Chains A and B, each alone.
Chain A
Amino acid sequence: HCLQFSSLLLFCFGLCSSWWGGVQMGPPDPILGVTEAFKRDTNPKKMNLGVGAYRDDQGKPFVLSCVRKAEALIASKQLDKEYLPIGGLGEFTKACAQLALGNDSEVLKSSRNITVQTISGTGSLRIGANFLSRFHGGPRDVYLPKPSWGNHTPIFRDAGMQLKAYRYYDPSTCGFDFKGALEDISKIPEQSVILLHACAHNPTGVDPRPEQWKEIADIVKKRNLLVFFDMAYQGFASGDIDRDAWAVRYFIEQGHNIVLSQSFAKNMGLYGERVGGFTVVCKDAEEAKRVESQLKILIRPIYSNPPMNGARIASTILSTPDLRSLWLEEVHGMANRIIKMREQLAAGLKKNGSSHNWQHVIDQIGMFCFTGLKPEQVERIIKEYSVYMTKDGRISMAGVSSGNVGYLAEAIHAVTK
C-alpha cells in the first residue's frame, strides 16, 4: 500500500501543485540591499558608497566624450546587424589584446594568443572558468586572494571548479600581507590555478608593489601554477594604461603563459554594453588555433555570438588616434578624481582630529577602499549618518565628491574615535 499512497501523492502533486514548489527563495544580493536601503533613506546628506560605477564630481553617471564621438561616427557608417563571429569582432579582439599586452608584445607578433570577445568581465571569467574546467589537466582548485570580488567564487563553482584561498589583505595594516601571500602560494599544489587581480584589487584597493610582483611571479613559476589574471581596471587604477598592465606584461615576459580577463565597463564607462575579452597565451600559433576552436564550442551553447554595440564603440576608440588620445585623457581624469578624493578624505580625517592612521586610504588604488571599519561601526555609520557601504567596510570612492567628502570624513571619524 506504500506504493499506492505515494502514487496518490504524486497524482495530487500533478493535479494541484506547481513544478516549482521546491524552489527556494534566492538570498538577497548584499550590494543591492545597500542600494535599496539608500533609496528609502530620506536624509538629505545620505551617501551611497556601495555603487560600483564611476560618478563625476556631481555624483552623476559619466558618459565619456570619446564614447559619444565614437557612437556618432558609428551611426554615420550605417553598418548592418549581421551576426558577429562566435569569437567576436576581429578589430575589437585585436585592439583588446594590444591594449593589455602592449604593441610590442612578442606574444602578438608570434600570434600565440587567442583573444575572444566576451560579455564584459563576468562573461570573460566564466568562459575562462569553463575552459579550464574542461581542458585543464591539473587540480580543479582555483586559488583566490583573500578577500576577492564576491562573484569570483560562484562563477568558478558554477563552472565546476573548486575554490581555495591565499592570504592577501592584512587587516592590521589595511595593506598587503606580502609575507602571508608568499607563504601560502609556496604551498599551492603544482599546476593549480591562481587568480591574480592585475591592478586595483577588488574589494581592498591593495596592490602589490613591482618588487613584490616580481617575487610573486618567481614563486608562482617555481610552483608551476597556471596564472589567471583578472584585469577590470586597466587605466582606471593609476590613470596610466601601461602602468596598470605592468604585472600582466611582466609575468608574460617571465615565461608564464597566462589566461587573462579584461573588462571595458569601468575604463570606458561601457558598463551596460558588456564589453570584455578573454585571452589565452599559448605555446605557439598552432596551439592558439586549437584553443580557439574549443573556446568557440564553449561559447556557442551559451549565447552563440557576442553583442556588437559596445565592442564596436571600444574598437573605434582604440583604433582612431584622436579618440584614443581623448580616451586616455578621460580615463586619466577619472583616476585622478578618485585619487584626489582619497587625499581629501585622508586630510579631512586628520583635520577632524582622528588619531588613527589613514595612510591606507591614500595607498590603496582604484575604485574601492577598504576603510578598516568594523561591522558595528559600519552599522552605526549607516544608521546615524546615512552613509551606505557594505558590511566589510568597503567604500566606493566613485561615490565620493568634493561636495560630500567633508561629511564623509566627519562620519567616519565619529564612528571610529
Chain B
Amino acid sequence: MSVFSDVPQAPPVAVFKLTADFREDSHPQKVNLGVGAYRTDDCQPWVLPVVKKVERLIVEDESLNHEYLPILGLPEFRSASSKVALGDDSAAIKDNRVGGVQALGGTGALRIGAEFLRRWYNGVNNTATPVYVSAPTWENHNAVFADAGFKDIRPYHYWDAAKRGLDFTGFQDDLEKAPEHSIFVLHACAHNPTGTDPTQEEWKKIAEIMKRRNLFVFFDSAYQGFASGSLDKDAWAIRFFVSEGFELFVAQSFSKNFGLYNERVGNLTVVAQDSENLTRILSQMEKIVRTTWSNPPSQGARIVSKTLNCPELFAEWYAANVKTMADRVLLMRDQLKSKLQALGTPGTWDHITQQIGMFSFTGLNPKQVEFMIKEKHVYLMASGRINMCGLTSKNIDYVAQSIHDAVTTIQ
C-alpha cells in the first residue's frame, strides 16, 4: 500500500499545456500566441547580443568561481536592480531606506515578499489579511499568496469587457471598500493579461485612496523597459508611489527585459520608512530565504549586474536591445489593428494599439478561442490573451484572417 495512493492527478498549468499542444500540432501554418516570451520576426527565441557578450566575459574570467552568493544575493545586482526601478536620483535610495532581495525571477520575488507579509504585516502571522489581485491577473498570483498562507484572496475590478478597457470606477470602489491594511497587488506597467494600464491621473487617484485607507502597495514589475521602450516611463507609477511616502514592495523580473527567462533573475525591492526598519526587514527576509533556497543562483545576477553597472554595456542593453524588442511589439500591434480594420472585422480594434506590453486581451470569447485553436491552429489562452511577440511579418495576415473568421463565424 503506497503512502501516495491518494495523490490526485493535478491539472496541468494551462499556459504550458498550450505550448505542449502547439508543439504536437503538425499544421504548417500553426502559430503560438500563448506563453509570454519574446520572439524575433523569424519566430525564434532571442538571446540579447549584450547578454552573449557578457556571458563570454564571465566564462573567460578565470578569477570568477562558483562560490555561494550571500543569502540576499549579489550585492551589486541588488543595488543596481533597485536603482533601475526607483531611478538614478531616487531620494529613497539616498536615504538608505531601500533594500533588495535577489530572488528566482519575478515569481520568487513575489513569493518571498508574500511570505514576509504573512509573517510580519498587520500583526504577526495574520493569515486573514485580505490580498487583492486584479480581475483578471497573472494566473500564478493567487497561488503565490495562497501558498504563502493567506486565506482571503479577492479580486478587484479591473478589466471592463464591454468597453475593453480599465474599469476604473469598479477599481476605485474596491479600494474604498477594502478592509484597512488589505494588500493590493498592482501591475507596475503592461498589465498581464490585459495590457491595459491606468493613466497617470488614475494612478494618482489610486495612490490617494490607498494612502487614506492604509492599504499595502505590492508592485509586480515584470516588463520595465519592455513595455514602452523607456525604463523611466514604465516605472512612473512605482516612483510616484515612492515619492508619496509609501512603504512598499516591488517584485522585479529580468526575464523579459534581459531575455534571461531560464536563469531566474529577479529582485524584491523593499522601500522602508528608514534604514533602521530596513535592517530589521532584511534580517527577516534572510530567514525566509534560508528555508526556501538558502541563497540565489549566481549566473543570471552576474549578467544583469555587469550590464547595469557598466555604462557601455548598459547603453547597448537599453538603447539597442530593449528598444529592438519594444519596437517590434509596437509594430505588430500597429499592423494587427490595421489589418483587422482593413478586413472590416466587426467590433473596434483600437484596444490593440492602446494596450501596452507583451499581451493583448483580444476580447475573443472562449468559443471563438476554441475555434482559433482547433480550426485555425492559432494557439492562445482561453481568456482571449495573445502574446504579441508570437506575431511576425510572415504570420500576421493569417492571424488577422483567423480572428476575422472567428468573430464572424462564432458568436
Residue ranges of A at the interface with B (Cβ–Cβ < 8 Å): 14, 17-26, 29, 53, 61, 63, 67, 71-72, 75, 78, 80-86, 119-123, 126, 135-138, 151, 154-155, 157-158, 191, 226, 257, 265, 269-274, 280, 282-283, 287, 289-291, 293-294, 296-298, 300-310
Query: CA–CA, A392 to B303, complex, Å?
Result: 39
Q: Check B161 for interface membership: any CB of A closer than 8 A.
A: no
B146 at interface, CB cutoff 8 A = yes
- Are B294 and A151 in contact, with the CB atoms below 8 A? yes
Q: CA–CA, A136 to B273, complex, Å?
A: 43
Contact A293 B10 (CB under 8 A): yes
Nearest Cβ distance between residue A293 and chain B, in whole angstroms?
A: 4
Contact between A303 and B277, CB atoms less than 8 A apart: no
- Given that A303-B108, A308-B263 are known contacts, is A287 also in contact with B5, CB under 8 Å in the complex? yes
Return the contact of A22 from the options B44, B59, B65, B124 (Cβ within 8 A).
B124
A25 to B282, CA, bound (A): 9
Q: How many A-B residue pairs have CB under 8 A?
A: 229
User: A137 touches which one: B6, B122, B146, B216 (CB < 8 A)?
Assistant: B6
Binds A, one of B66-74, B86-94, B390-398: B66-74
A84 touches B262 (CB 8 A): yes
Q: A151-B291, A273-B299, A309-B263 are in contact. Are A302 and B108 (CB under 8 A)?
A: yes
| Bound-state Cα–Cα, A63 to B290, Å | 24
Interface majority SS on B: helix, strand, loop or mixed? Answer: loop
Contact B272 A20 (CB under 8 A): yes
Which B residues fall within an 8 A CB radius of A?
A: 2-13, 16, 35, 37, 44-47, 51-52, 55-56, 59, 65-69, 71, 103-105, 107-108, 111, 120-124, 140, 143-144, 146-147, 214, 216, 247, 255, 259-264, 272-274, 277, 279-281, 283-284, 286-288, 290-300
| C-alpha spacing A191/B1, complex, angstroms | 12
Determine whether the beta carbon of B66 is less than 8 Å from that of A138: no
Known: A81-B263, A302-B111, A309-B297. A158 touches B67 (CB 8 A): no
Asked if A71 and B3 make an inter-chain contact with CB atoms under 8 angstroms apart, the answer reads no
A308, B299: Cα distance in complex, Å: 9
The answer to whether A86 and B9 touch (CB under 8 A), given A19-B247, A81-B263, is no
User: Which one of B9, B120, B144 contacts A23 once the chains associate, using CB atoms below 8 Å?
Assistant: B120
Q: Show 12 residue pairs from A and B whose CB-CB distance is below 8 angstroms, ordered by the A residue.
A: A23-B120, A80-B44, A83-B35, A158-B288, A272-B295, A273-B299, A283-B2, A283-B4, A300-B13, A301-B143, A302-B292, A307-B104
Task: Contact check, B300 vs A307: say whether CB atoms are below 8 A apart.
Answer: yes
Q: Are B68 and A23 in contact (CB under 8 A)?
A: no
The distance from the CB of A303 to the nearest CB of chain B, in whole angstroms, is 4
- Min CB distance A399 to B, Å, is 14
Q: A75-B59, A80-B45, A138-B3 are in contact. Are A126 and B291 (CB under 8 A)?
A: yes
- Given contact pairs A83-B35, A226-B3, A265-B68, enumerate 8 new A-B contacts (beta carbons under 8 Å): A26-B280, A61-B66, A80-B47, A83-B261, A119-B292, A304-B104, A304-B107, A307-B300
Residue of A whose beta carbon sits closest to that of B248: A19
> With A19-B247, A282-B2, A301-B140 as given contacts, are A26 and B283 in contact (CB-CB < 8 Å)?
yes
Q: Which residues of B contact A273 (CB under 8 A)?
A: 66, 297-299
Are A24 and B66 in touch, CB under 8 angstroms? no
Identify A86's interface contact among B13, B47, B120, B291, CB under 8 A. Answer: B13
Cβ–Cβ < 8 Å partners of A120 in chain B: 293-294
Contacts of A282 in B (CB 8 A): 2, 4
CB distance from B12 to the nearest CB of A (A): 7
Q: Is the Cβ of B2 less than 8 Å from the Cβ of A82?
A: no
Contact of A271 among B13, B67, B71 (CB under 8 A): B67
CB closest chain-B residue, reference A301? B143
B13: chain A residues within 8 A (beta carbon): 86, 296-297, 300
- Known contacts A14-B214, A61-B67, A122-B294: A24-B284 contact under CB 8 Å: yes
Q: Are A307 and B263 CB-contacts (below 8 A) given A19-B216, A20-B272?
A: yes
CB distance from A134 to the nearest CB of B (A): 9
CB-based contact B147/A302 at 8 Å:
yes
Contact A290 B45 (CB under 8 A): no
- Most central of B55, B146, B292 by chain A CB within 10 Å: B292
Q: Is the CB of B111 within 8 A of A301?
A: yes
Contact between B298 and A287 (Cβ–Cβ < 8 Å)? no
Whole-angstrom distance between the alpha carbons of A61 and B144 in the complex?
37
Minimum CB distance partner of A11 in chain B: B214
Let me know if B124 and A303 touch, CB within 8 A: no
